[in-house]
Amino acid sequence: MTRITTLFFDLDDTIFDFRAAERIALTKALMALHIAPTEALLSEYSRINLSQWQLLEKGKLTRDEVKLRRFRLLFEAFPDVCGGLDVRNASDDVQLPKEAEARRRAAGAEREKREAFYRRAATLYEEALCVGHYYVKDAREILKRLRGEGYRIYIVSNGSSRVQRSRIKSSDLASLTDGIYISEELGFAKPDRRFFEACFAQIRAKEATTRQVTPESTLIIGDSLTSDIQGGINAGIRTVWFCPNARREKGIEPEPDREIDRERDREIGGKPDGEINGKQNREADREIGREQDRETDREINGEIGRETDREPDREIGRKSDGEINREIDRKPDSEAETGTDTETKGEDILPDYRISALSELPALLMRIEADSKR
């Protein structure tokens, strides 16, 4: 097994606490629009935002579409909070010719008002999101420690370049890492293998190092199964799934080879360290952990938002959005909850390790180092 020398860290909800930043930024944006930032609004936005970024990862939305569409969906779900603005769709009732023409003109004007309202909300939110930063617990200390131990550390993010660069600038993160790579600047987004290829190419081009930076010598740590873990697998990089509170995402349910738990530090199936990660043992790993993981999956999938794929299929003013809704949002709940999506089948996704706190990472790296010497 090749020794790990390079660490790729996701940024949002791995190093920076994006959930806190999102909540504060949305609260500021809503208040600027004279809308009360209720818990229902904040929670629904968080759910919608995650689902839209997952569509971006699949190539079904552009970044600009994500920024606007998440607010369109939010305010359509809460039409009464928009100060009298009709964010619902115009009626399709049969009208007399003159009445129909007048209604079409009025509907067009109303649609423009809605779109302007969504754009204003998106702008206010992004401006607020650019301000400040919030570190995940232990993140700074772990980065300092690991860099001091000789690891090369890079940030790999799918976020907006303007937002991420502003937040990073307000922090000392640049001094704690060897480089920062953002998908919007590279032209590819995680989990696309080309994103990681671009990262490696830039690292090799910019840094005169005697150590060859390769996928085999790299480990990616991130909270997102659909971008970080799937991306690492696509690129041939070993993966660490950072999952505080054992949170799982819909549509992809991996069976980790190893779990480093806060209360216990052991293999999921009780296997010796030397048996981890070998391809010849992966089928055995699945069998050993399958029953336990299946029960855990049922419990967790019952707790996270089951409504992610239940957004009603409605016309929202643009044909492309309607097509996306029909393609994405009509997926049966049973399919989403059991991980049978043809793009991301659970049995095909196998993160190498899982941690529930960043403070557990040094111990995990020591074990990987020991395994590499065997």
pLDDT tens, position by position, 237-248: 999 999 987 544
Cβ distance 198 to 186 under 8 Å? Answer: yes
Count of all residues that appear for the chain in the document: 374
Highest mean pLDDT: which range of 108-117, 307-316, 339-348? 108-117
Q: What does the buried/exposed string (b/e) look like for 62-94 if buried means 16 or more CB atoms within 10 Å of the residue's CB?
A: eeebbbbbbbbbbbbbeeebbeeeebeeeeeee
Give the Cα separation of 10 and 207 in Å (integer): 21
The answer on pLDDT for 304 being more than 90 is no
The answer on pLDDT for 323 being more than 80 is no
Check residue 303 and report its DSSP letter.
T
Confidence grade of residue 249 (pLDDT, cut at 50, 70, 90): very low
What is the reported pLDDT for 318? 39
**Which residue's structure tokens are 């069998």?**
287
The arithmetic mean of pLDDT across residues 351-365, rounded, is 95
Give the Cα separation of 232 and 89 in Å (integer): 42
Domain ranges of the chain: 6-16+137-372, 19-129
How many other C-beta atoms lie within 10 A of the C-beta of residue 56? Answer: 17
The arithmetic mean of pLDDT across residues 85-113, rounded, is 60
Percent above pLDDT 90 for the chain: 55
Q: What share of the chain is helix, strand, coil (3-state, %, to 5)?
A: 55, 10, 35
- The β-bridge relationship of strands 238-242 and 265-266 is unpaired
CA angle, residues 45, 54, 30, in degrees to nearest 5? 20
Identify any residues that bridge with 16 across adjacent strands, giving them in sequence order. Answer: 12, 135
Q: What is the pTM of this model?
A: 0.70
3-state class of 306 per DSSP? Answer: coil
How many other C-beta atoms lie within 10 A of the C-beta of residue 147? Answer: 16
pLDDT tens, position by position, 359-372: 999 999 999 999 88
Which of 10, 13, 178, 285 is catalytic? The answer is 10
What is the reported pLDDT for 82? 73
Which of 12-21, 61-70, 136-145, 293-302 is least confident?
Answer: 293-302
Give the Cα separation of 372 and 48 in Å (integer): 42
Cβ distance 234 to 191 under 8 Å? Answer: yes
Taking alpha carbons only, the member of 97, 92, 63, 70 closest to residue 315 is 92
The CATH fold of domain 6-16+137-372: Rossmann fold (3.40.50)
**Which residue's structure tokens are 């998106």?**
122
What is the reported pLDDT for 371? 85
- Mean pLDDT in the chain? 76
Taking alpha carbons only, the member of 139, 134, 133, 150 closest to residue 357 is 139
Q: Burial, 154: exposed, middle or buried (Cβ in 10 Å; 0-12, 13-18, 19+)?
A: buried
The arithmetic mean of pLDDT across residues 104-126, rounded, is 85
Confidence grade of residue 79 (pLDDT, cut at 50, 70, 90): confident
The arithmetic mean of pLDDT across residues 177-192, rounded, is 96
What is the reported pLDDT for 102? 66
- Axis-axis angle for helices 39-57, 18-32 (nearest 10): 120
Determine whether 13 is an active site residue: no
